[in-house]
Structure 1
């Protein structure tokens, strides 16, 4: 786990120095290696086995959250036939490692010309209908041991779907940096409309 923490700290420092574009181009193989290494340790396996529950449609088990929001590790569990709402990861990198089950990741990229609409939406509390155009990416069929990635400009909007009628879908997220209201790294949810149009929705509308 210490190697994973150190690598996440290193990535965050380079993100601070070079900006979000760094997270689109850096070599994420060491982070991948240390994630797999951490999951093989007895201490983390015992923590997961003792604490992982499925008492909600979507459950989260925290592993490591930094007080400065520089990074976060967490495990998400989707109950059978549950879809995680489409959401964004502004200026963030996410590694998702499937621990159990089979699922689908759907991904989108918002058109650059519509990004200002998203930022305006994040900074207002006024209820409003905001529609953006986005490019839908090929869906990924994921199974135990598979890994997928999200960067500031690639698949920054995504959703996970558990198609099983009987089994949960469980995955670990390594997030660098984490959401942070102070730096406008706020989560926004989206609803699919016609064609390649997405509607932004408030969290309390879910």
Structure 2
């Protein structure tokens, strides 16, 4: 008698449940994150129910088929958000990007996030705040506040590639995604966004370090382009996203 193989997405859910439960170590140990990353590394589009991954963009349909898009969507395709699992301790979700679509620079307060590119190529630009905080007030009628951040990642990730991990204070907690071509990303967010718990998603715009004068500080070392000033902005109007039902292997909760 042969044992039925557990679907990879079920195994990932089970490991997340073990890693991010209230009784588990908080924050998770480096070994726990390494185990999750290793398991995510092995996942591909088929493991989460994605099909025709490389062809979606030119047809204007998307990886779930033509029935989920209309003629308007052909010319203004949204980023598709797929909710795989949403819970109190962690969220598993998929973002499917048409070419050149963008999730603008945003943060993940108090969160650990694992991201795995399932197919295609994605440009990632991420920052961490410089500590202690360096804050400037811009001139002009708006007098907006900017805070200094250090660049952590500025590169294109192409599947198959390793899982990326960011932490509450390191690893590029503030990041921006830009699709080089049609691509999809599997994300695990732990704990998930929750406004009542102080975990709201805030968007930012980055400015070159030279845009604002700052007194020389020995704690800030490196080249000019390794730093940027970040200003909080409203949710960008161009962020065009739609929800889609998860159609991959069922997960036993």
> TM-score when scaled to structure 1?
0.76
Q: Helix, strand or coil: the match of 2:103? A: coil
Please say if residues 20 and 28 of structure 2, whose CA atoms lie closer than 8 Å, have aligned partners that are also in contact. Answer: no
Cα displacement (A) at 1:136: 1.1
Q: Say if 1:100 and 1:10 are closer, same or farther in 2 by CA, change over 3 A.
A: same
- Partner in structure 2 of residue 101 of structure 1: 120
196-205 or 154-163, which moves further after superposition? 196-205
> TM-score when scaled to structure 2?
0.63
Query: Structure 2: which 5+ runs fail to align?
Result: 1-8, 52-62, 136-141, 210-227, 239-253
Q: Helix, strand or coil: the match of 1:27? A: helix
Please say if residues 23 and 92 of structure 1, whose CA atoms lie closer than 8 Å, have aligned partners that are also in contact. Answer: no
Q: Helix, strand or coil: the match of 2:32? A: coil
Taking the aligned partners of 1:143 and 1:12, their CA distance within structure 2 comes to 28
Cα displacement (A) at 1:152: 0.9
Taking the aligned partners of 2:147 and 2:237, their CA distance within structure 1 comes to 18
Asked if residue 141 in structure 1 is aligned to residue 143 in structure 2, the reply is no
Alignment of 1:12-51 (within 5 A): 12-13=20-21, 19=26, 22-23=27-28, 25=30, 27-36=32-41, 39=44, 44-45=47-48, 47-49=49-51, 51=64
Taking the aligned partners of 2:78 and 2:144, their CA distance within structure 1 comes to 27
Alignment of 1:72-83 (within 5 A): 72-83=91-102
* Alignment counterpart, residue 17 of structure 2, candidates 9, 23, 44: 9
Asked if residue 178 in structure 1 is aligned to residue 192 in structure 2, the reply is yes
Aligned length: 185
Asked if residue 199 in structure 1 is aligned to residue 231 in structure 2, the reply is yes
> Which structure has greater helix proportion?
1
Q: Helix, strand or coil: the match of 1:136? A: strand
- Partner in structure 1 of residue 244 of structure 2: none
Please say if residues 24 and 151 of structure 1, whose CA atoms lie closer than 8 Å, have aligned partners that are also in contact. Answer: no
Taking the aligned partners of 2:19 and 2:114, their CA distance within structure 1 comes to 13
Taking the aligned partners of 2:197 and 2:94, their CA distance within structure 1 comes to 24
- Partner in structure 2 of residue 168 of structure 1: 182
Measured against aligned partners, the alpha-carbon deviations of 1:108-139 in whole angstroms (never above 9, x if no partner) come to: 00123339x8xxxxxxxxx9833111001231
- Partner in structure 1 of residue 86 of structure 2: 65
Taking the aligned partners of 1:133 and 1:8, their CA distance within structure 2 comes to 33
Cα displacement (A) at 1:102: 1.1
Please say if residues 124 and 155 of structure 2, whose CA atoms lie closer than 8 Å, have aligned partners that are also in contact. Answer: yes
- Partner in structure 2 of residue 110 of structure 1: 129
